Amino acid sequence: MEFDVIFRPENLSQYWEGTINSLWLLLISLVVGGALSLPLAIARVSERAWLRGPVWLFTYVMRGTPLLIQVYLIYYGLAQMDFIQARWDDSLIWKWFKEPFFCAVLAFALNTCAYTVELLAGAIRDTAHGEVEAAHACGFSRWDTMRRLVLPSAMRRSLPGYSNEVIMMLHSTSLASSVPALLDITGAARTIYADFYLPFEAFITAGLIYATLTLILVGLFKLAERHWLAHLQPRKV
């Protein structure tokens, strides 16, 4: 083992840059995907088929295909279409497809959005019917009941499942290295492996970084569950 190579300043800087890029990918994807998932989850449980159907199809496709394929379809497929390339410099919307970071974020955000929609939709369906009836008895409209009772309760109850989704997305950011000119943690390990032919040292270091970040995320979600799900904790005798 030659871990002294890993601790050279130029190699540590690559891991640092890769870690920052991975965290940015994770954060932006979660924010965008989470924001999109709220209205889509409400549509997913709608009684209207024309609202429910397209959302079901979206979640089915995104959850039924590998994330790597989705990254390839966006970066090597959608972003390379002649229609989009011809408008890279003319349109504010299409020019973003020139950026590898944007293509990776778009794929990750849509993927995590699909899983989050199903998490929230399941939690909304599991809301106690008595709570909804009590809200209606208090004069709440259907929208007020959803906004002030059902949705906040569903978001709290889906927190344990969502923590698994966040951790899976952290690990999935390793696929960003498949996009050229985008350096993530795995990409940094591949670069060091290619330069020094040290596969074990390079990828063990990357694995330790992922494990450390995972441990931090687990701790943060434990604190969040202790705060927002305190009423569901078993009482001490």
Residue 146, domain CATH: 1.10.3720.10
Q: How confident is the model at residue 235 (pLDDT cuts 50, 70, 90)?
A: low
List, in sequence order, every beta strand (DSSP E) within 59-141.
Answer: none
Is 58 inside a domain boundary? yes
Residue 234 binned pLDDT confidence (cut-offs 50, 70, 90) = low
In a domain, 22, yes or no: yes
Query: What is the domain range of residue 217?
Result: 9-227
> Is residue 30 over pLDDT 80?
yes
Mean pLDDT, to the nearest integer, of 118-131?
Answer: 90
pLDDT 10s digits, 71-83: 988 888 876 777 6
In 3-state terms, the chain is what percent helix, strand and coil (to 5)?
Answer: 80, 0, 20
**CA contacts within 13 A on the Cβ side of 81:** 12
What's at 54, amino acid-wise?
Answer: P
The stretch 170-181 carries a mean pLDDT of 89
Within a domain: 3 = no
Domain count, the chain: 1
> Which residue from 145, 140, 161 is spatially nearest to 37, judged by alpha carbons?
161
> Cα 26 vs. chain centroid, distance in angstroms?
6
196: left (phi over 0), alpha (psi -120 to 50) or beta: alpha
- The pTM of this model reads 0.89
Token output for 229: 């799900």
DSSP code of residue 73: I
Instruction: Tell me the angle at which helices 9-44 and 100-125 cross, rounded to the nearest 10 degrees.
Output: 40
pLDDT the model gives residue 229: 78
DSSP 74: I
The answer to whether position 236 is within a domain reads no
% of the chain beyond a pLDDT of 70: 91
Query: Looking at residues 149-156, what average pLDDT do you find?
Result: 88
pLDDT at 132: 81
119 compared with 232, residue with greater pLDDT: 119
Alpha-carbon distance values, 2 to 16, 79, 189, 203, 208 (Å) = 19, 41, 14, 13, 16
Handedness of CA 118, 47, 36, 73 (dihedral sign): positive
234 lies in a domain?
no
Answer whether residue 51 is part of any domain: yes
**pLDDT at residue 227, as a whole number:** 79
Instruction: For residue 214, give the nearest of 155, 158, 169 by alpha carbon.
Output: 169
Question: What pLDDT does 187 receive?
Answer: 93
Domain membership of residue 156 (yes or no) is yes
Which of 32-46, 67-81, 111-125, 178-192 is least confident? 67-81
What is the residue whose two structure tokens read 């969502």? 162
- E-state strands within 78-189: none
pLDDT band of residue 201 (cuts 50, 70, 90) is very high
What proportion of the chain, given as a percentage, has pLDDT over 90?
57
- Residue with the larger pLDDT of the pair 89 and 30: 30
Q: In angstroms, rounded to a whole number, what is the distance separating the alpha carbons of residues 119 and 13?
A: 37
**Would 152 be classed as within a structural domain?**
yes
